[in-house]
Every structure is written in C-alpha cells, then in structure tokens.
Amino acid sequence: MDRAHEQDGPGRGHRPADTARAEQAAHGEHGDGAQVSTGKAAEAEDTTIPELVIISGMSGAGRSTAAKCLEDLGWFVVDNLPPALIPTMVDLGARSQGNVARIAVVVDVRGRRFFDNLKESLCDLDAKQVTRRVVFLEASDDALVRRFESVRRPHPLQGDGRIVDGIAAERDLLRELRGDADLVIDTSSLNVHELRAKLDAQFAGEEEPELRATVMSFGYKYGLPVDADLVVDCRFLPNPHWVPELRPFTGLNEEVSGYVFNQPGAKEFLDRYTELLQLIAAGYRREGKRYVTVAVGCTGGKHRSVAMSERLARRLSDGGVETVVVHRDMGRE
C-alpha cells in the first residue's frame, strides 16, 4: 500500500473538467455545444436524483485510489470538490436526463470551515432525501508516516511541526465524520489491488443489498482492527496451538475447526451470538446502515478466530446478509 497509494493533495485533481461535463450532461449538450433537447422535450427533463458516495478520510490513506476505482466502475467522479458545492453537483446530476446516475465526490477536509460546510451539505442532502453514503479511509499512524516519507512530502496540516503532528490534527478534525461514516476501510496493510477489491465488492453490483457484512478474524497480539463495528473474543476457548498435531494448521482445517467446536460453550456461543447479530442487523436495516464489520479475535488470529469466523459468516449468509470473510492475521506467524 505504501508505494501504491499516491498521496492525496490539492494538486491531484485527476478529473479537472468534471463540473463542466456535468453541466453539459445536465443541459443535454455535446462537446460542440449543440443542444440535444429542444422545445417541450427540454422541459420534460428527467429529474431522478443520482446516488451519491462521499469519499473522505485521512490524507495518504488512499482517497485518490478509491476515486479511480469508482471511476472504473462507471461512477461520475469529482475529485477535491469543496463540500459546499456537493448539493449543486447533485442538482446538476438530477437534471442530466439520467446521464449521471451515480456520483462519487472526494472531499478533502483540511480546515474547520470546510468541515462545517460538509455538515451543512449533508443536512441539505438529507432534507432532499438524497441516497448518500460516506466512505472513510483510515490508516495507522505508522503507515501514514511511512507513506509521506516515501514520497518526501509534508502532511497538509503539519505546518511547522512534524508529520505526526499533522496526522494528529487531522484525526481530531475528522473524528466526528469517521463516527458517522457508512463504511470505514483500514488501508494500513492493504496494497492498491486489495483496496480495489474491497471497493469492487461494495460498489460494483447493480443492485444494492440491504446489508453487507465483513466477518474478520484477527489476532489480539497484532492489535484490534480499527475499522471494526463489533468485536468478539474467542480466547475463552482452549487454544489448538497447544495441541502439537493441530499447531501447524489453521482454523480452515476441518480437524482444527472440529476441535474448536467440540469445546464446551463453543456451539452455544455461536448460536447466541448469531441471534444477537440478527437482532443488530434488523436494527441496522431500520436505520439505513448498509455495512457492518464484525471482528472475531483470538490470540494469534490463526485457529479459534478463523474457525469461528467461517461458521459465523455462514450463519449470516444463510440469514440473508451478504457476507465476506477476511482472515487478517492468518499466516503472519
């Protein structure tokens, strides 16, 4: 990820003519200025409100990569748009006669005023009943410092201080937005292809499912996943690591999985936690939340959490939740 994710900054603007093209689409113009619609046909514009995705997050976490991915998926992407202009962009899309059905906006929040403008714009969009989602790209301090140092660029908020000072200031500024995001993606250990795969899984489909879940196994000794919505601990179960014949294998192995689920409380835990997740999923649907990441942890992320994640994902999938399984730390030992 360090080399593959280019830095996000005011000079990136990989679609400089986006707003002009949207205005052309909104008025039914070709590149030579010719009008496609005339008379009554022009008056009967299709005012279908486009779907909107707002991409934000930490500088250096991969916002530009995410924008390029959505562009490849057919989204109309506007990079580095001032937050106050987002409702205007949506209005232009609504007047495009269906030519701009999906808009992705990359928002770079680098000051308190910009952040206030973004909140005002989100309230305006909600009042217009615009279907919107906020994607927040996250990364650890170590990963961000490494990325900025690799391209020898300062952090946009560091001023006369260090890179870590800029990162800390940005985290504080974006804390509220991160908490309200529909989807948080931690890119600390992702390369560009893995990030694109995650975005493809979320935005490539023609029909939006009611709820998507990512079940992620992890090892506590490697740290908690920062993008987890829910965290569950499997360390109450005996560790197959201490069984010599099971130690080399992972929780994907049938013998390891059988060992885990033959322990007292394992099957009961799976049953009850599945019921709890079904209750939570119903609440998420009512609140319009489309994404949830369930992190399942054990000591090293190799045996118990992997086995439990596989079974839990199967239960969720059987219950109608589109589910992806990720084993974050399997193979790190």
Burial (Cβ within 10 Å: 0-12, 13-18, ≥19) of residue 19 = middle
Q: 283 falls in which pLDDT band (50, 70, 90)?
A: confident
Reported as a single tens digit per residue, the pLDDT across 38-67 is: 444 444 445 788 889 999 999 999 999 999
Please provide the distance, in angstroms rounded to a whole number, between the alpha carbons at the two ends of the chain.
21
**Is the Cβ–Cβ distance between 214 and 294 less than 8 Å?**
yes
Q: What is the pLDDT of residue 206?
A: 52
Mean of all residue pLDDT scores within the chain: 83
Q: Which residue has better confidence, 289 or 140?
A: 140
Least confident range of 37-51, 111-125, 276-290, 316-330 = 37-51
Q: Which two tokens stand for residue 238?
A: 């005996």
Q: Which two tokens stand for residue 310?
A: 């596989």
3-class state of residue 285 by DSSP:
helix
Residue 251 has pLDDT above 70, yes or no: yes
Q: What is the pLDDT of residue 38?
A: 41
Least confident range of 135-144, 195-204, 309-318 = 195-204
Q: What is the pLDDT of residue 198?
A: 85
Mean pLDDT for 248-262 is 97
Q: Which two tokens stand for residue 128?
A: 């217009």
Q: d(Cα 212, Cα 116) in Å, to the nearest integer?
A: 30
Give the amino acid at 9: G
Q: Which residue has better confidence, 8 or 255?
A: 255
Q: What is the CA radius of gyration of the chain?
A: 23
Q: What is the pLDDT of residue 205?
A: 61
- H or E segment at 138? strand 132-138
Which pTM does this prediction carry? 0.59
Q: 81 falls in which pLDDT band (50, 70, 90)?
A: confident
Burial (Cβ within 10 Å: 0-12, 13-18, ≥19) of residue 298 = buried
